[in-house]
Amino acid sequence: MKIAVLPGDGIGTEIVAEAIKVLNVLDLPLEMESALVGGAAYEAHGHPLPESTLKLAKEADAVLFGAVGDWKYDKLDRPLRPEQAILGLRKNLGLFANFRPAICYEQLVGASSLKPELIAGLDILIIRELTGDIYFGQPRGRRTAVDGHFPGAEEAFDTMRYSKPEIERIAHVAFQAARKRSKRVTSVDKANVLETFQFWKDVVSEVGQQYPDVALDHMYVDNAAMQLVKAPKKFDVVVTGNMFGDILSDEAAMLTGSIGMLPSASLNASNQGLYEPSHGSAPDIAGQGIANPLATILSAAMMLRFSLNQPQAADRIESAVKDVLASGLRTTDIWSEGTTKVGTRDMGDAVVAAITKKTTKG
């Protein structure tokens, strides 16, 4: 089982180190190889996604990714910015389905900014299409950028587009995921204003006819944003396009208390995947040893389950994370009165210890 490890920038290196520690105690035949990506790769090779990194990722069964980006790269031309590495990996590996589970752990109910009764027991799955929409549409407004900006320009534009096969395949993913859960899908669009999303709605409905056992409803994105904070437990599987999914999944992330808790998986048609925390490189706290590594550790668990076919190992990690939270250990982002504040490494060590303890007992 080959894993390409791409820690990236900022807290990326700190949190991925903890996930590797956890993977290493599972006693699995994992082959891990690291490479530079993002700003770190730009500094070393002049490009955020060097050929060698892409090759490693393509040849691996799965990619474990930290995060990329830093404000200091904001002035670079867009193709050289760290974030382009993620878009390049998604495109080259054909990663079209992004799974973002938002689960509220019992012990963290108090860390959410919403009332406990609204989020206790929350377990929703946002499925975001990753390869189409306005992020990849042509034509795009192209001007000669100066320091990444367009002085004197009167307009800029990006074009929203989706093809039928792109919508069909993500719709199938959503209906199949719903079959393993509560058999409900909400498709989020903006069909009242955008042609692209009227088309999206029509195609999702058409695919839905092949899944008579799954209930499908449609919601406009503005209403979905509101309902997510008003009554999040009304949702189960939410499927949406690239841009709406980007925004709604971050909103859903915060329901659970901290973005530092949320894993994600991006899969292609053959279940090869890229696994990364939902958050970014957090330059504001990088190097301080205080980042929460749990989203990355839980991403490693998703990797074992979805791409490496090791569901039991995934269960062991997830159960160890619950044990650690139950023991009262918290990184700063999820800390509350009466719990014990720990740093990134201590949190990783605690998960390792919880796994080892259970293994010894078992």
As annotated, the active-site residues are: 135, 190, 222, 246, 250
Name the residue nearer to ligand NAD (CB basis): 9 or 189. 9
Query: Which residue ranges make up the site for ligand NAD (CB under 6 A)?
Result: 11, 15, 67-70, 83, 86, 259-260, 276, 279-285, 291-292, 295, 333
8 A C-beta contact, residue 67 and residue 11: yes
Closest distance to ligand NAD from the beta carbon of 141 (Å): 21
Closest distance to ligand NAD from the beta carbon of 269 (Å): 22
Question: Distance between CA atoms of 244 and 247, rounded to whole angstroms?
Answer: 5
Name the residue nearer to ligand NAD (CB basis): 296 or 307. 296
The position carrying tokens 């973002």 is 100
Question: 267: part of which helix (H) or strand (E)?
Answer: strand 263-267
Closest distance to ligand NAD from the beta carbon of 43 (Å): 14
Name the residue nearer to ligand NAD (CB basis): 14 or 189. 14
Find residue 217's DSSP bridge partners: 186
Looking at 68-200, which runs of residues are DSSP E strands?
97-103, 123-129, 184-189
Closest CA to 19 of 243, 290, 280, 292: 292
Closest distance to ligand NAD from the beta carbon of 266 (Å): 10
Closest distance to ligand NAD from the beta carbon of 313 (Å): 23
Name the residue nearer to ligand NAD (CB basis): 68 or 308. 68
Residue 343 vs residues 69, 83, 275, 321: alpha-carbon distances, Å: 22, 27, 23, 15
Name the residue nearer to ligand NAD (CB basis): 54 or 68. 68
Question: Distance between CA atoms of 135 and 133, rounded to whole angstroms?
Answer: 6
Name the residue nearer to ligand NAD (CB basis): 238 or 259. 259
* Residues 118, 122, 124: CA angle, nearest 5 degrees: 125
In order, the DSSP letters of 311-344 are HHHHHHHHHHHHHHHHTTEE-GGG--TTSEE--H
- Sequence-separated (6 or more) residues with CB below 8 Å from residue 119: 104, 109, 112, 232, 233, 255, 256
Residue 76, classified by CB atoms within 10 Å of its CB into exposed (0-12), middle (13-18) or buried (19+), is middle
Closest CA to 19 of 56, 63, 55, 84: 63
Name the residue nearer to ligand NAD (CB basis): 81 or 201. 81
